[in-house]
Amino acid sequence: MNILVTGGAGYIASHTCVALQEAGHNVIIADNLCNSKVESIDGIKKITNKEITFYEIDVTDEEAVDIIFSNHDIDGVIHFAGLKAIDESVRNPLEYYYNNIVSTMVLTKACQKYGVNRFIFSSSATVYGDNKVPFEETMILLPTTNPYGETKAMSERILTDIANANPAFSVSILRYFNPVGAHESGLIGETPSGIPNNLMPYVTQVAKGRLEKLCMYGNDYPTVDGTGIRDYIHVVDLAEGHVAALENLTEGVHVYNLGTGKGTSVLELVKAFEEANGIKIPYEVVERRPGDIALCYADASKAKQELGWTAKRDLIAMCRDAWRFEKNHKE
Ligand code: NAD
Ligand code: UFG
């Protein structure tokens, strides 16, 4: 299939492009590089040794998107492009609502015009709010504490309404848990700008000596050791989940959790990183981070049953691969 991958130069999408090409699909990338670099596309090409068509465009730009659809016989769209920094979305809500919602509308409009009926959307576990774990796809979505989360819930709603009105339109909504790690080649990975917000890139930068120590946000949660529990998933497993979703897509709207189903605490992740890489990670326990929840992990059984997909790589592989990329990566 010819697959349009929006945000294809980004962290999760670049790994998905590799998995798509390895499964025999052709990839067309649309990215405005607002949070990525063209080097990641070079990385994909080096890994797969295949060509990629790249359009440096903003996917909220209707005319630019139309040109891609008229130039290629597109079979499906995987829509990753989006802004994702939670605190920035609180400070700058309009930018988030505009970018993340308008992009979904522009792309679905082009799909309707050109008769493209396969659409896969990057959603997030954040839409579950503080439901009871493990999170199941059938749970009522709870309001999130930030505009970013709202853009994901709203995009899900928009896609569901469009599919309800157009029975041929097939949508897969993928709710990611906490993607970490990197391709084992060390050629592509996560490159956050500035000081990382997320745990794993913060840990790898402490390991590299760029940051002095990890600030652990609270150790008084009702969890095994008091630190927050998350469902960390290797980004290559997550990427393979997209191929499974694409190849098993049927009419209607389908929602899948892409997680491991296993919760890991902040302390456990730090210990696993130290064990995997033989590097000590100094840390200090500080106040809880506003907006954080204690527990977040998936019930991952639906994706296993319907897509035949499960995450295979363990926490040690996630830590080893994250560090390999960080070590090799030049600023
Ligand atoms: P990323 O920032 O690495 O990738 C997003 C890509 O989209 C970037 O390359 C950026 O340049 C591009 N982009 C953004 N707005 C665009 C626009 N208007 N037009 C064209 N390109 C645009 O982020 P990621 O972590 O790979 O996330 C990918 C998707 O998955 C996002 O939609 C994100 O919200 C979602 N998601 C991420 C996580 C996570 O923890 N990383 C968790 C849940 C969901
Ligand atoms: N944490 C620290 N110190 C840090 C960073 C994080 O202790 O410097 C802790 C957090 O308090 C939390 C855990 O590590 O307990 C994971 O935090 P992340 O920031 O890595 O991830 P979140 O679970 O907060 O959020 C991520 C993405 C969201 C997405 C969500 C889905 O950033 O976009 O996963 O589960 F919505």
> Could you read off the pLDDT of 39-87 as tens digits, one per residue?
999 999 999 999 999 999 999 999 999 999 999 999 999 999 999 999 9
The dihedral region occupied by 289, where left means phi > 0, alpha psi between -120 and 50, and beta the remainder, is beta
Is 176 catalytic? The answer is no
pLDDT digits (tens, 9 = 90+) for 94-113: 999 999 999 999 999 999 99
What atom in ligand 1 is closest to the CA of residue 123?
44
Closest CA to 276 of 238, 324, 233, 232: 324
Q: How far apart are CA 129 and CA 295, in angstroms?
A: 10
What atom in ligand 1 is closest to the CA of residue 125?
43
Distance between Cα 199 and ligand 2 center (Å):
6
What value does the CA radius of gyration of the chain take, rounded to a whole number of Å? 19
* Residue 246 pLDDT: 98
Distance between Cα 41 and ligand 2 center (Å):
27
* Residue 5 pLDDT: 99
Instruction: Give φ, ψ of 46 to 5 degrees.
Output: -65, -40
Q: Does the pLDDT value for residue 257 go beyond 90?
A: yes
* Residue 41 pLDDT: 98
Domains of the chain: 2-182+232-259 (3.40.50.720)
The model's confidence at residue 329, banded by pLDDT at 50, 70 and 90, is confident
Q: Does the pLDDT value for residue 156 go beyond 90?
A: yes
Q: How far apart are CA 272 and CA 69, in angstroms?
A: 45
pLDDT digits (tens, 9 = 90+) for 268-286: 999 999 999 999 999 999 9
Mean pLDDT calculated for residue range 136-153: 93
Q: Distance of alpha carbon 236 from its chain centroid, rounded?
A: 11
Ligand 1 binding pocket mutation candidate from 84, 88, 126 (most atoms within 8 A of CB): 84
Q: Does residue 96 have its Cβ closer than 6 Å to ligand 2?
A: no
Q: How far apart are CA 266 and CA 228, in angstroms?
A: 6
312: which residues sit within 8 A by CB, 6+ positions away?
234, 237
The pTM for the full model equals 0.98
* Residue 145 pLDDT: 82
Q: How far apart are CA 206 and CA 303, in angstroms?
A: 35
What is the chain's mean pLDDT, rounded?
Answer: 97
Type of residue numbered 184 = E
Mean pLDDT calculated for residue range 321-331: 91
Q: Does residue 266 have its Cβ closer than 6 Å to ligand 2?
A: yes
Q: Does the pLDDT value for residue 331 go beyond 80?
A: no
Give the whole-number percent of the chain exceeding pLDDT 70: 100
CA 217-218-221 angle, to 5 degrees, is 130
Give the whole-number percent of the chain exceeding pLDDT 90: 96
Pair of tokens at residue 16: 């998905």
Mean pLDDT calculated for residue range 298-307: 98
Mean pLDDT calculated for residue range 190-198: 93
